Homo-oligomer: A and B are copies of this chain.
Amino acid sequence: MNIEMIRAAAERLEGHARFTPLLSSPFIDQLAGRRVLIKAECLQHTGSFKYRGGYAAVSALSQEARARGVIAFSSGNHAQGVALAAAQHDAPAVIIMPTDAPRLKIENTRALGAEVVLYDRVTGDRDAIGTQMAQERGLTLIKPFDEPQVIAGQGTTGLEIAQQAKAEGVTQADVLVCCGGGGLTSGIALAFEADAPGLRARPVEPKGFDDAARSLAAGTIQSNEQMTGSICDAIVTPRPGDLTFPIMQRLCGPGLVVTDHEALRAMAQAFLRLKIILEPGGAVALAAALCRRDQIEGDAVIVVASGGNVDIGMYEQALDTLRS
């Protein structure tokens, strides 16, 4: 896993992935107590950064492997990213999703042409299910984060941020990244190491699911005690990956932790001030910028707003926080 893989992924993604904008608002700056630049990956195809990793992985396969097809397991964003990327390569796609994934994500994955297989998030072992199906049908398994080509694809976000931050005159800053298994965080960190050494990636997680923060603090991989109970479905993962954690340990700053309510409030600020839709798991980094200002260094902070696939009911809960 190295920067050359990220640059190669960027070349393959050229003309496919969207170069997403870096947004800002004086109102957000005021709330955060510093300048805030928001990388709007919710505007990426399929509504999250996951399309980058999906496309990078599918495009790296041989013609034969593509023809047999791919399989992925995901609460929904990786699912949609892989489904669209597979469709664009004429590759069949099987997606294994938890039964409690947001309905919108399940429907979209199906609508993008994938075959969806549901499993129980608490009692099922999605790795085992995925591996078995992959063997039976000759499908290539595209893991959601602990997979070099996926990390390379997500890392292209970091290449863009490095370029955009420089154009904004920001060369020293914490970069807050919504973190599940660490694919996006580690990919961005590798991109910064090469292109923007003054930028420091820091994972942000929901309270109770802060495996990355605890792992970084302990120096060894720590697991979450539970797998349900957060509205931030996109970033609830058992533990950091074997590939992603060493990268994060070498390059990332300390993790940050926010509550579900703080994520909802950040979604509401994104509605009010940025005019972008964020889902809870895609809003934790913005929430940290707004609610953890004492734990952040520097005059400016960069936030990766990683996804926007949220059901109506949850979105209305977020808007409701503006009324209280």
Contacts and interface: CB of A to CB of B under 8 A. Distances in A.
Interface of A: 18, 20-21, 23, 25-27, 40, 42-43, 45, 47, 84, 104, 108, 111-112, 271-272, 274-277, 308, 312, 315-316, 319, 322-323
A234 to B, nearest CB: 14
A315 B308 contact: no
A93 B271 CA distance: 26
Given A23-B43, A104-B272, A275-B276, 12 more contacts: A20-B21, A21-B43, A25-B45, A27-B111, A42-B275, A43-B275, A43-B276, A271-B277, A275-B308, A276-B276, A312-B319, A312-B323
A28 to B, nearest CB: 12
Contacts of A40: 43
22 contacts: A18-B21, A18-B23, A20-B21, A21-B21, A21-B43, A23-B43, A25-B45, A26-B84, A26-B112, A27-B108, A27-B111, A40-B43, A43-B274, A47-B275, A104-B272, A271-B277, A275-B277, A275-B308, A276-B276, A276-B277, A312-B322, A316-B319
A43 to B, nearest CB: 6
A275 B43 CA distance: 6
Q: Which 5 pairs, one residue from A and one from B, show the smallest C-beta to C-beta distance?
A: A275-B308, A275-B277, A42-B275, A312-B319, A47-B275
Contacts of A274: 43
Contacts of A108: 27
A201 B277 CA distance: 28
A27 to B, nearest CB: 7
